[in-house]
Structure 1
Amino acid sequence: VEAFARPTEETSAAVAQWLSDNDVESKTLTPAGDWISFTVPVGKANQMLRADFSVFTHLNSGKEAIRTLEYSLPEGLNRHVNLIAPTTFFSRPLRSGPVMSLKNAVLPEVFTVEGRHLSYVPCAGHRALYNIPTTPAVNTNNKIGVAGFDNQFANQVKSCSPIIFLKALRPDMPANTTFSLTSVDNRTNSQTLSQAGIEADL
């Protein structure tokens, strides 16, 4: 993948020369060298990109962002650069928590395990929502990857799911079934129950 994404020597030299001509230092963001980062004042960015950066405000949230409606690169450089960001890209402000609307929502039920009253969405509901097969996989090496966002943390301790979930709803599976964590950008998976969130322990 790195070899595929790596820019040519001609491209690297052209971009480096452009930055040098403008007295701008940059740093490489990816192993392949296909993404670089540099920071300049707005006035300098306007000059380098022939742009008009301004402050734009998202009406519903009040969030502000500095963007431009157009920009351009010097002649000959545009064939070496796919994009510069953030420039003309306007993204929605991050929401504070997960939002989901289902046309045929499955209402949670309540069950009791080890003296605790817990609500859950029946297995049939999960299988329908996430298209999970009803029969075990034949290949024992199969895995399911679940990405975590929006400060949702999956607990591994015995008093939380998946242990309770398996004991109550999937007694056919080993009670010691758990999951492993692959961290991205050195993030952590909090094991504090109060921080689990409303959706992480589905």
Structure 2
Amino acid sequence: MIRIFFIGYFLLVYCSLFSQPNYVNEDGGTLQMGNLDVPFLRVSETSGNKIVGSIYLNEEWEQATIVNLSNNKKIKLLARFNAYHSEIEILGEKEISALFTTDGIEVTLNNKSFVPLKIEKRNKAIFAEILFKGKYNLYKVFDVKIIRAPSDAKLLNLESVDRVEILNDYYFNENGGEAVQVPKNKKSMKSVLPSNFLEILKKEKLSLKKEEDLVTLFSLINSN
């Protein structure tokens, strides 16, 4: 099936729903959508174990606003963020689609702002939460960890539970280039962060492990 199709067709399907606030083409905006990546394989499907947790930041469908940053045109749709694939899923009448990572769009969902991002060691762009915009941008990249129940849990008469945990790392880039991960320890700082980052980090006594400190760091570095 073709990966990309235009939402113009999608909006025609929903023309009868324009009276509802969840499906609004505010300014004649268009965007691209496609099929979801390979669905998340719940380990319980093959192991028979109970599964706890979710691959979604919020499993409920919520209204998302997609903005074309070049002309400020907007579209509102029902969506949710899939942390396993770092995708934004769009709810259709008969199927769920994935929002294509087109350059120049920004998505507001769950009180967060997501943008397409190319990061090291990934062969395609993903959606990441943007925490600070400037010459140096700061991003929050989500991922999923699967913690499987011990293989002998049932033999030991223990509850067989597979757990899904959402994790995150922080990335940054300069002038929209490929993003690299913010180092988590001082040893790797010098090889990744520019010297002026290190000076401000030390002067302000900020931690690379605290999100609020990272936002402060990028705010200060971009104001210089």
- Give the shorter-chain TM-score range: under 0.3
TM-score w.r.t. the length of structure 1 is 0.23
TM-score w.r.t. the length of structure 2 is 0.22
Q: Which has the higher contact order (CA 8 A, sep 6+)?
A: 2
Higher strand share: 2
* Structure number with larger C-alpha Rg: 1
